[in-house]
Chains A and B, each alone.
Chain A
Amino acid sequence: MSNNFRLDSGGEINRTERISFKFNGKTLFGYKGDTLASALLANGIHLVARSFKYHRPRGFLGSGSEEPNAIVQLHKDKAKTEPNIRATQIEIFQGLEARSQNCWPSVNFDISEINNFFSPILPAGFYYKTFMWPAKLWEKYEYFIRKSAGLGISPTKRDPDLYDHKYYHCEVLIIGSGPAGLTAAMIAAKSGKKVLLVDEKPEHGGSLVGANSEVTNIDNKRPKEWIQKTYSELVKIKNIKVLNRTSVAAYHNYNYLIMMQNLTDHLNENDKKNKIRQRLWKVRAKKVILATGSIERPMIFDCNDRPGIMLSSAVRKYLNHYGVKCGNSVVIFSNNDDAYETALSLHGKGIKIKAIIDIRQESQGDLVNKCISLGIKILWKHTVVKAEGHKKINAAIVMKLSNDNNSVVGNKIKITCDLLCVSGGYTPAVHLFTQSGGKLAFDEKKFYFYPYKTSLDQLSVGACAGIFNLKKIVHDTYIKVNTFLKTNIKNETVVADYKSGGFENIWLLPSNKISGKVKSFVDFQNDATANDIKLALREGFKSIEHVKRYTTTGMATDQGKIANMHALGIISDISKTKMGELGTTTFRPPFTPLTFGALVGRNVKQFFDITRETPMHYWHKDNGAKFEDVGQWKRAWYYPMNNENMYKAVQRESKAARECAGILDASTLGKIDIQGVDASEFLNRVYTNAWSKLGIGKCRYGLMLNEDGMVYDDGVTTRLGENHYIMTTTTGGAATVMSKLEDYLQTEWPELKVFLTSVTDHFATVSVCGPHSRKILEKVVKNINFEDQKFPHMSFNEGIIDNIKCRVMRISFTGELSYEINIQANYGKAVWEKCMEAGKEFNITPYGTEAMHLLRAEKGFVIVGQETDGTVTPGDLQMDWIVSKKKYDFIGKRSLYRSDTMKEGRKQMVGLLTKDPNEILEEGSQIVAEIKKSPPMVMLGHVTSSYYSPNLKKSIALAVIKNGKNLKGKKLYIPMKNKVIEVIVSDAVFWDKEGSRLNA
């Protein structure tokens, strides 16, 4: 038999562009415009996949995103390979490589098909029951369960493709460009509103694509011509944007929708280079019109999963749109008139229709009558009881239905065929409607759920609203959309109409065999059968959500687009509960799977997280600094020289800062300009200590608490003028402190006349410390008298460097004589270089944050966020001196007098010295008073900071320990993995307790 199933003419493919591709290693050919599915079918290939559990042969069921069976692995490349791609959605391109998944060694001979023979003992939920015992074997079971879990192979290398994001705002978003969507788009576009029309397919037209042009006629045009005319009119209108290959993945509240646009997947490899592969659209629409169409239902009978059993509408589309016949000898099995359009299409192309099996008693529809007039055999009130064949259907076994449709009667009729078209009616695609929070209602006569209530500004039109007749769709869309958009666009569309017969629904078709011998698949991809659903009900699962999870119905990658209605119907029939009362399972995003790449967009590599740089960043970089992330800032961590490691570099830097001069980039500290007549009072309320008496030109350290009395931030604030201060905050806390203070001013203290302005980025801060720092500053800043009496510790002066104003503060975070120059950021690098030049003779050494941490730890200065963790009060830091007893109030004051914050024995900050001075503690280590042979031990606290001090020549650490204030001199222990470290509790200030160096 010929493998060429392509018709000699017809279809919308470009027959002048032949495309070669590979499937399972074999080179095949198709045409531009083919999907992988249509190209494979044109090559006579139906067997493309194996099912998940039983590894049964599977072919194509549908032609779009509803396809549950034909999922394949794309690409061989370890970076680009992609599993679970529906062959019905992939457009072929030169060089495409696809292969079947979930099979070994091949899709034709799959060893795991043995599961199918054991299927009677592998019903739904068997793994829940089977692997419970003996418990000790679980790890063995787990190995095999994990091995068999999942479908396809994930890429193992970095995705080389490019993705990006786009935000879009429109007045009207229309989802779906079928007859209803195109009609709605035309009305909306003519109204002058900003419109976005999207469709997941490459072509527009929805159900009209592949429609029988002899049957369907709009405006005296064939469907194809009407689509082209409408589309070309639409794109001429400036206020509408039309996207194809764009699938709406999620519909959130307030008409916020996520959609993914495929930009290059259909292109040849060469044409894809350096282009965005997929774009994630984040759309906010004032109004949304859902025209998502409907999904044809299959029929549920024994072995209804055989390759060659396809949805009737899909066969029609392959035939009319792709010019592909899916078989040579066809049986059609239906419960409605729509399948007769397929019959007419097939007949028109000269394809033999062996019979139409119809479960209805009769139909007087025009299409039915036309089929009768063409001599097509129709078996009324019959059903297919089994599909025969293995890797492809070769016969349908048909029997007559009993009067009540509950059983079959009479003799079996065997009809040989290579294609069985099934049509169980249509289900409105209400997935996006329900995602948006819309409520569904069930039509007990038409057997479908339809959109009922929504709180959003949205509208459902066409088949997704339960209207399937083309003339009614166009008419209804005009009325509804005109009302929805408050427009008055006249319907001048002329649609040829035909009479349609009725519809009869049987969720689970009767069989001549006992239930246990029948395999009627409901969820094709997950191999969930009608028997599985019955078993779940017998075992007491009543809620649809429970049945879903127990049987895995609707949990495959197609999200139950095909399975859910039948599952509900079967439950309804067995439990004698009305469908409307059963409800549906939750339709969760995404409607169709999204790639991780699209979700991430360009937020990869250097754009993974945003970064901030100081004005001196490139000096640090040019001088070999290693950087650490502090908040979003890139801060110079240490400056290794001659292949130093961090430890050696930090030892050198901190020694230089104490003995000669060190220079630190402190630009990252938060800086807030505070002005106003109540500025002093404001600071009194913000900080724990008093500010009213701080002299102009003086600096003061402040501790800021949260409302719960816990330390929140700290920093030095300088009084620049009578009512003018500049506050510094921690690097990480700058934004939150600014926000908190602004919030207080606006909501709690509106009576204060205070204005805040963030100037963090305006100033570069160069901190020079060490015994020679004064000499260096004198060389750099000419107009300031740096004598100790004129410029004492904790004071400020305005200076000028080369005609540029700067502020110089004499403050110290190292315990050394230290100055901070604050200058406009754009001059920061120049000033830094000037200081380096001036300090050369004093061996000025740049030091990073690690040395800064060491130096301040030697001095016992805390770092908020290192010594504190949101549970530490000033008293816990042994900083009671900074809490004013006289002030009426400040943030957190009340909480400091709670019994818990006042109690003795809280964790308090202390110093730790190791018995062995060379032993460096690990930060975070737990501290105990008594060592036991094995845990648990009573933990007293933990190490917060730990360093080897090159200046003290011994290991030092800070820690928070229960009742630490009273434990000075006490021996404690730190149990580590292989040893126990002995420590002595000490004062937290290790260096220059008298402060003689910073006051020098």
Chain B
Amino acid sequence: MLEINSTINESRNFNNLLMEEKTPILKLNLRGKINNNDFTSNVGKILGVILPVEVGSIVSKGYLSIITTGPNEWIIISNSKENNDYQLENVLFETISKNNLGAVTNITDQFTIFSLVGSGALEILSKSSPFNFDTLPNNFSAQTLLNNIDITIVKKDNENIDLLVRRSFSNHLWCWLNDSARFL
């Protein structure tokens, strides 16, 4: 078996903040027209959820979370290492892509996910992100910049946040997070 090399693979504990890279998990990008009933009903059947429409909104079902990242675009994230296989990708690809209802693309390694837990989670983001987190409800996501790097923030609550960052930027961002966390 090939050795997995995720970018960070470590956990750091700071004053009011625990940061770690989440174990790489399945991520699929889903695109399709929300007003296309064939698309939404097929996706709904496979995932067992009604696709959310509002950009930033998140729905979860079982081991899956679906984040609306744009009009007609979603990221499907597996929350479980055990279900980190090609099965879901294959089913969705065969049903959606192959039938020209939309597009399903595996982007598992496109993003690294950092977990920030603690009262310093929002504080550290405010050091370099212009986003107004007051406007971001719990269990919602937002796409913004952190230290000039594109990120997607998944806010579970004020003290539990996931950051999705493109893999190539992840080490730089991790270094920046570690540096900034010193001054919390």
Chain A residues engaging chain B, CB cutoff 8 angstroms: 162, 164-169, 194, 274-276, 282, 284, 602, 606-607, 610-615, 617, 633, 673, 675-677, 721, 723-724, 753, 755-763, 801-805, 824-831, 834
Q: Which of B4, B31, B175 contacts A757 (CB 8 A)?
A: B31
Given the known interface contacts A607-B179, A759-B105, the answer about A826 and B130 at a Cβ–Cβ threshold of 8 Å is no
Docked-complex contact B172 and A610, CB < 8 angstroms: yes
Q: Residues 134-178 of chain B: 1 if any A CB is under 8 Å from the residue's CB, otherwise 0? A: 110000000000011100000000000000001111011001100
Most A C-beta atoms less than 10 A away, residue of B31, B103, B126:
B103
Distance to closest chain B CB from A700 (angstroms): 21
A673 touches B109 (CB 8 A): no
A606 pairs with B102, CB closer than 8 A? no
Is B167 touching A761 in the complex (CB atoms < 8 A)? Answer: yes
Interface residue from A169, A758, A830 paired with B3 (Cβ < 8 Å): A830
Roughly how many angstroms separate A973 CA and B90 CA in the complex, as a whole number? 61
Decide: A830 and B5 in contact? CB cutoff 8 A.
yes
Instruction: Return chain A residues, CB-CB under 8 Å to B60.
Output: none
Q: Considering the complex, give the chain A residue whose CB is closest to the CB of B98.
A: A721
- Complex CA distance for A830 and B147, rounded to whole angstroms: 30
CB of A831 within 8 A of CB of B110, answer no
CB within 8 A of A826: which of B24, B105, B131, B175? B24
Are A602 and B179 touching (Cβ within 8 A)?
A: yes
Q: Is the CB of B61 closer than 8 A to any CB of chain A?
A: no
- How many angstroms from the CA of A473 to the CA of B39 in the assembled complex? 64
The answer to whether B108 and A824 have CB atoms under 8 Å apart is yes
Task: Report yes or no: A606 in contact with B103, Cβ–Cβ below 8 A.
Answer: no
The answer to whether B31 touches A755, judged by C-beta atoms less than 8 angstroms apart, is: yes
* Contact partner, B103, options A607, A613, A673, A803, Cβ 8 Å: A673
Contact of A164 among B31, B131, B167, B180 (CB under 8 A): B180
The distance from the CB of A970 to the nearest CB of chain B, in whole angstroms, is 46
Shortest Cβ gap from A356 to chain B (Å): 52
User: With A164-B127, A282-B130 in contact, do A755 and B183 touch (Cβ < 8 Å)?
Assistant: no
- The answer to the question of B95 belonging to the interface, with a C-beta cut-off of 8 Å to chain A, is no
CA distance A167 to B126 in the complex (A): 5
Q: Does B132 contact A166, Cβ atoms closer than 8 Å?
A: no
In the complex, what's the smallest C-beta–C-beta distance from B98 to chain A, in angstroms? Answer: 8
Q: Is B100 within 8 A of A723, CB to CB?
A: yes
Which A residues are CB-close (under 8 A) to B179?
602, 607
Q: Is B32 an interface residue (CB 8 A)?
A: yes
- Indicate the size class of the contact surface on chain B: 35 or more
CB pair A826 B6 closer than 8 Å:
yes
8 Å CB contact of A633 from B4, B129, B168: B168
A457 to B: closest C-beta gap in Å: 16
Among B5, B105, B126, B129, the residue within 8 A (CB) of A673 is: B105
Q: Which residues of chain A come closer than 8 Å to B55, judged between CB atoms?
A: none
A interface majority secondary structure: mixed
Beta-carbon contact of A803 and B167 below 8 Å: no
User: Given contacts A165-B128, A805-B86, A830-B3, are A613 and B171 in contact (CB under 8 A)?
Assistant: yes
The residues of A that contact B29 with a CB separation of less than 8 Å are: 757
B41 contacts A by Cβ under 8 Å? no
CB distance A758 to B128 under 8 Å?
A: no
> Of B24, B132, B175, which one neighbours A284 at CB under 8 angstroms?
B132
Closest residue on chain A to residue B36 by CB atoms: A753
Residues on B with beta carbons closer than 8 Å to the beta carbon of A276: 183
Instruction: Please tell me if B106 contacts chain A, counting CB pairs below 8 Å.
Output: yes
The answer to whether A802 and B1 have CB atoms under 8 Å apart is: yes
Is B111 within 8 A of A167, CB to CB?
A: no
Within the complex, the shortest CB–CB distance from B27 to chain A, in Å, comes to 9
- Of B105, B111, B128, B147, which contacts A761 at CB under 8 A? B111
Contacts of B1-39 to chain A: CB distance below 8 A: 1-7, 24, 29, 31-32
Assess whether B167 is in contact with A607, with CB atoms less than 8 Å apart. Answer: no
Counting from the closest, the 9 A-B pairs by CB-CB distance are: A755-B103, A675-B103, A612-B168, A825-B109, A755-B31, A762-B110, A169-B132, A757-B105, A830-B2
A675 & B126 in contact (Cβ 8 Å cutoff):
no
Pick the contact of A762 from B4, B102, B107, B126 — CB < 8 Å? B107
Q: Let me know if B97 is at the binding interface, CB within 8 A.
A: yes
- Contact partners of B167 in chain A: CB under 8 A: 615, 761-762, 825
Question: Bound state CA distance, A633 and B167, in angstroms?
Answer: 12
Residues in chain B near residue A676, CB distance under 8 A: 100, 103
A37 CB to nearest B CB, Å: 31
**How far apart sit A673 and B135, CA to CA, in the bound complex (Å)?**
33
**Contacts of B171 on A, CB cut-off 8 Å?**
613, 617
Q: Is the CB of A762 within 8 A of B106?
A: yes
Q: How far is B143's CA from A985's CA once the two chains are assembled, in angstroms?
A: 52
CB-CB under 8 A from B147, the residues of chain A are 607, 610
Contacts of A673 in B (CB 8 A): 103, 105
Please state if B5 and A753 are interface contacts (CB–CB under 8 Å).
no
Q: Contact check: which of B97, B129, B168 meets A675 at CB < 8 Å? A: B97
Assembled-state Cα–Cα distance A724/B127 (Å) = 41
Chain B contacts for A761, CB-based, 8 A:
109-111, 166-168
Question: Residue among B5, B98, B100, B102 with the most chain A CB within 10 A?
Answer: B5
> Which residue of chain A has its CB nearest to the CB of B166?
A761
- Please determine whether B129 and A167 come into contact, CB atoms closer than 8 angstroms: yes
Other-chain residue from B6, B100, B130, B149 in contact with A167 (beta carbon distance below 8 A): B130
Residues in chain B near residue A803, CB distance under 8 A? 1-2
A602→B107 contact, CB < 8 A: no
Which residue of chain A has its CB nearest to the CB of B3? A830
Question: Known contacts being A169-B132, A613-B168, A758-B110, is A802 close to B105, with CB within 8 Å?
Answer: no
CB-nearest residue of chain B to A823: B2
Residue of B nearest to A256 (CB): B130
Report yes or no: B127 in contact with A166, Cβ–Cβ below 8 A. yes
A844 to chain B, nearest CB (A): 19
Which one of A607, A611, A614 has the greatest number of beta carbons of chain B within 10 Å? Answer: A607
- Which residues of the partner chain A approach B176 to less than 8 Å between Cβ atoms? 602, 607
How far, in angstroms, from A762 to B32 measured CA to CA in the complex?
21
Extra pairs beyond A607-B179, A762-B109, A830-B5 (8, CB < 8 Å): A169-B135, A613-B168, A615-B109, A677-B100, A723-B100, A757-B105, A763-B109, A825-B110
Docked complex Cα distance between A834 and B183 (Å): 42
* Residue of A276, A614, A615 contacting most chain B CB atoms (<10 Å): A615
A274 contacts across to B, CB distance below 8 A: 182
Q: Can you sample 7 A-B contacts with CB below 8 Å? A: A602-B127, A610-B149, A612-B168, A759-B107, A760-B110, A761-B109, A830-B3
Identify which of A606, A675, A760 contacts B105 (C-beta below 8 A).
Answer: A675
Q: Which residues of A sit under 8 angstroms from B7, Cβ to Cβ?
A: 613
Distance, CA A615 to CA B112, complexed state (A): 12
A633–B149 Cα gap in the complex (Å)? 13
Are B127 and A826 interface neighbours, CB within 8 A? Answer: no
| Residue of B with least CB distance to A764 | B109
- Contacts of B66-86 to chain A: CB distance below 8 A: 86
A611 to B32, CA, bound (A): 33
Contact A162-B183, Cβ < 8 Å, known A606-B175, A757-B29: yes
List, in ascending order, chain B residues with CB within 8 A of A610's CB.
Answer: 147-149, 169, 172
Q: How far is the CA of A805 from the CA of B86 in the complex (A)?
A: 10
Q: Which residues of B contact A194 (CB under 8 A)?
A: 134
Given A612-B169, A761-B168, A826 and B103 contact (CB-CB distance below 8 Å): no
Give the residues in chain A near B175, CB-CB below 8 Å: 606-607
In contact, A827 and B106 (Cβ under 8 angstroms): no
Chain B residues whose C-beta falls within 8 Å of the C-beta of A763 in the assembled complex: 109
Q: Are A611 and B180 in contact (CB-based, < 8 A)?
A: no
In the assembled complex, which residues on chain A have CB atoms less than 8 Å from the CB atom of B132?
Answer: 169, 284
Give bound CA distance, A613 to B24, whole Å.
17
Q: How far, in whole Å, are A762 and B105 apart by their CA atoms in the complex?
A: 10
- Rounded to whole angstroms, the CA-CA distance of A795 and B86 in the bound complex is 25
Residues of B within 8 A of A804 (CB): 2
- Does the CB pair A169–B86 fall under 8 Å? no
Instruction: Give the chain A neighbours of B182 by CB distance below 8 A.
Output: 274
Structural contact, A166 and B107, CB atoms closer than 8 A: no
Q: Which residues of A contact B133 (CB under 8 A)?
A: 169
Residue of B nearest to A802 (CB): B2
Partner of B172, one of A613, A757, A805: A613
Determine the distance from Cα of A162 to Cα of B127 in the docked complex, in whole angstroms.
Answer: 14
